[in-house]
Amino acid sequence: MFVEVAFPIPLHQTFHYLAPNGTGAAVAVGQRVVAPFGRSKSVGYVVRLTERSPVKAMKPLVKILDPVPLIGLDGVELARWLADRYGCTWGEALACVLPRNLRPTREGGLTPLRRPRVCGDPGLDSRFRGNDVAMYSGSDPKPTLSTQQEAICREIIEAASRREAAVFLLHGVTDSGKTEIYFRLFTQVLSQGRQAIFLVPEIALTPQFIERTHLRFGTEVVGVWHSHLSAGDRSRTWARVAHGAIQLMVGARSAVFAPFPALGAIVVDEEHEPTYKQEEKPRYHAREAAIERTRRAGAVTILGSATPSVESYWKAQTGAYRLLELPSRVDELAFPAVHIVDRRAEGPVSRQPVFSPPLRQALEDRLAHGGQVILFINRRGFAPFVVCRGCGWSARCPSCGVTLVWHLDTKAPAGEEGVLRCHWCPHRQELPEACPQCRNPKLRLRGIGTQRVERELRAQFPTATVARLDRDAAKSRKVYRQVYEDVKSGRCQVLIGTQMVSKGLDFPRVTLVGVIDADTALYLPDFRAAERTFQLVTQVAGRAGRSPRGGEVIVQTAAPDHYALVAAARHDYRTFYDQEIELRRTLGYPPFRRLVNVLVRGARESPVTEETERLAQGLKGALEQSGRDPAGWAVLGPVPAAHARIRKEHRWQVVLKADDNAVTHALAYLRTVRPSSDVKIAIDVDPQDLL
């Protein structure tokens, strides 16, 4: 018997070994093993046991690390699929399906897996115990389903009972009762002795959300998975999944790989969220991995969203997914009125106040009448640009070339109150006294960030109580929780924040939502800019719709006629989708073509441009030779990346737009590429953006 081993390295090859000498331990697929590799030893994964091997002088394995494999046979095969689809190696994909601390790089760097404590351990991150439990205010663990919910549940549960690998797209506005449907499905699956995975974006994993699942299913069977877990919690949770102690895994992206023995369902809530795509190798999309996994397991997938991704909705339109719609809210509250404020009417952008007259008026009104307000701005810091009035110079990062953001620094002495920071690397510097180019002392702070909104609000409404939530303010879950409690209790009247305030927060007293600048995402040079803007505005607007007192949303923009904003203001997904899908069709963007973004980076520019040129030619050549219809693919570039220099490295890219078959050919070619030693190549299949 020979053992085939894949190593987590960028080498598209597996290696054969003999079973270890005289240990008597059984080798099994999915185990981590130590094997001789080159002149030393390395940790790899058993991917196959075979009777025959072409290799002559074979060495024995040194050691078997896991008596019980940490990855099942299905996990090993899913990893193969990940590798093929996303252009990484089998070993790299295998490392990805394991929790971070169980990924081997070298011998000795491993966290041993302890046996699970099956009884007594509620599997709950200790930080979520105590106060958080009391924070959940829901009281009706099991409402009677509406007729619509009933019909949808029946359809999904029938598919689950038949062990059909069906994919459902559940398009339902916020508060339409989607989660209740997920819960009914989980109950059904668990009662059949199978298990389920509930994927949510990291940001939605709030204590009150976790508590809701705990209340319904009991803390014993629910596992929680997010990026703040300690190594110990990760190992314990993983082992409890593999041993069947946990039956429902609630978690962010990588929970999709939870090693359940008999998976019955995966729910991907907020399926449109970009955070489901991993931005490091392997660059997989958890939604696609979920669909592939359930397809192999004979399980159902539900993709849920109030604003489905254009790709998923198209697949539902064309029959690949089954479309289910929940158009109204459970409580039948009306949607909030959305007003678009045209900022062009207020003169030059640089002179505009943070609050337009209608927003200021609404703020005054709400604060006078005890209402709460959420103000959304998708940029942290005080001002995203510092420019010279004399010559147009702007402050840029010496390593990245991007503009520096001016941040207030509350700890600095008065007068010297801020610092310029790069959002791409750790660079910081003081604001120069005068323009380094023309010595003009008149440097101007331009644009709006969360801190500036906060300062402006405190200046104009000195008695208002204000809190801010962004990556700078909420460094820990503790701060996040404090702000949450302050808003919940009414101690805080105005909450200012980035995406962090756009979901997972449910405050019935919020009667006004202000979108300070809807255009920040609109003009990015990216094919998903309109989609993202539509999703964000819809999502943020939803924060105002939870009060019987009614809610109002004010959206400030310089593009009041843009179809994404007009449709968002009308709560009209379908009109947005119909326009967007035609654009995608015309331009040959997903879902009509797939994209592969090949990024080359390196310290010196000429090797980078040369390699990119070689790649572009190589890709064209491979596709021409493959005999694929040239109408089915296009190689764009080489061009400098949108961020052409990050952390002192030059970045160039080639983008392939192609159908499925051509993508497969392209990936086969890319596997053969051996880049020169002064550059690195990153392949992103189905990228979220081209920035």
Query: Which residues contact ligand ADP by CB under 6 A?
Result: 138, 140, 143-146, 149, 172, 174-180, 330
Nearer to Zn ion, 73 or 391 (CB): 391
Residue closest to 146 by CA, chosen among 183, 181, 187: 181
Q: Which two structure tokens, joined as six digits, stand for 619? A: 């890709």
Q: Which stretch binds Zn ion (CB under 5 A): 59-67, 422-430, 577-585, 648-656?
A: 422-430
- Tell me: does residue 435 bind Zn ion (CB under 5 A): yes
* Token digits of residue 535: 């999703």
In contact, 404 and 386? CB cutoff 8 Å: yes
Residue 177's binding partner out of ligand ADP, Zn ion, none, with CB under 5 to 8 Å set by partner kind: ligand ADP
User: Among Zn ion, ligand ADP, none, what binds residue 422 when CB lies within 5 to 8 Å by partner kind?
Assistant: Zn ion
Token code pair at residue 287: 């939604």
Q: Which is nearer to ligand ADP, 138 or 621 (CB)?
A: 138
278 secondary structure, DSSP code: -
The answer to whether the beta carbons of residues 430 and 419 sit under 8 Å apart is yes
Taking CB within 5 to 8 Å according to partner kind, which of Zn ion, ligand ADP, none is near residue 587? none
Cα 440 to Cα 631: distance, rounded to the nearest angstrom: 54
Q: Which of 201, 179, 184, 189 is nearest to 251 (CA)?
A: 201
- Minimum CB–partner distance for residue 302 and ligand ADP (Å): 11
Of 302 and 362, which CB lies nearer to ligand ADP in the complex structure?
Answer: 302
Which one of ligand ADP, Zn ion, none interacts with residue 397, CB within 5 to 8 A by kind?
Zn ion
CB of 217 to Zn ion, least distance (A): 45
Residue type, 402: V
Beta strands in 113-226 (DSSP E): 167-172, 195-199, 222-225
Distance CA 54, CA 79 (A): 24
Residue 175 vs 233, nearer CB to ligand ADP: 175
Angle at 629 between CA 627 and CA 633, to 5 degrees: 110
Is residue 438 near Zn ion by the rule CB under 5 A? yes
Q: How far apart are CA 654 and CA 161, in angstroms?
A: 46
Sketch the per residue contact string, 332 through 371, with Zn ion: x for CB under 5 A, - otherwise: ----------------------------------------
Beta strand ranges found along 619-661 (DSSP E)? 633-646, 649-658
Q: How far is the CB of 419 from Zn ion (least distance, A)?
A: 14
- Residue with smaller CB distance to ligand ADP, 181 or 338: 181
For Zn ion, which stretch binds (CB under 5 A), given 94-102, 111-119, 280-288, 424-432?
A: 424-432
Residue 438 touches which of ligand ADP, Zn ion, none (Cβ within 5-8 Å per kind): Zn ion
Tokens of 389: 């009035």
Q: Are 270 and 201 in contact (CB under 8 A)?
A: yes
Q: What is the dihedral of CA 529, 534, 539, 544, to 10 degrees?
A: 130
CB atoms < 10 A from the CB of 535, how many?
A: 26
Angle at 332 between CA 327 and CA 337, to 5 degrees: 80
Helices (H) and strands (E) in the chain, counts: 17, 27
Asked if 17 and 61 count as a contact pair (C-beta separation under 8 A), the reply is yes
Partner that binds at residue 143, options ligand ADP, Zn ion, none, CB closer than 5 to 8 Å by kind:
ligand ADP
Indicate which of Zn ion, ligand ADP, none lies near residue 388 (CB less than 5 to 8 Å, by partner kind).
Zn ion
Stretch that binds Zn ion, among 167-175, 432-440, 593-601, 656-664 (CB under 5 A): 432-440
| 73 binding partner (options Zn ion, ligand ADP, none; Cβ < 5 to 8 Å by kind) | none
Give the nearer residue to Zn ion in terms of CB position, either 399 or 547. Answer: 399
Paired tokens of 202: 């990291």
Whose Cβ is closer to Zn ion: residue 68's or residue 391's? 391
Residue 440 binding result from Zn ion, ligand ADP, none, given CB thresholds of 5 to 8 Å by partner type: Zn ion
CB atoms within 10 A of CB 406: 25
**Minimum distance between the CB of residue 150 and ligand ADP, rounded to whole angstroms?**
9
Residues 382-401 binding Zn ion (CB under 5 A) are: 388, 390-391, 393, 397, 399-400
The minimum distance between CB 329 and ligand ADP, in angstroms, equals 8
Q: How many residues bind Zn ion (CB under 5 A)?
A: 15
C-alpha 99/C-alpha 256 separation (Å) is: 11
Structure tokens at 607: 């090797």
Out of Zn ion, ligand ADP, none, which partner does residue 174 contact, by CB within 5 to 8 A per kind? ligand ADP
Q: What are 589's two structure tokens? A: 């963007």
| Minimum gap (Å) between residue 307 Cβ and ligand ADP | 12
Q: Which is nearer to Zn ion, 187 or 394 (CB)?
A: 394
Give me the half-sphere count of Cα atoms (radius 13 Å) on the Cβ side of residue 258: 36
Q: Which of residues 595-634 bind Zn ion (CB under 5 A)?
A: none
- Per partner kind, with CB cut-offs from 5 to 8 A, the member of Zn ion, ligand ADP, none near residue 399 is Zn ion
Strand partners, 277: 285
Q: Which is nearer to ligand ADP, 30 or 207 (CB)?
A: 207
User: Applying CB under 5 A, which residues contact Zn ion?
Assistant: 388, 390-391, 393, 397, 399-400, 422, 424-425, 427, 435, 437-438, 440
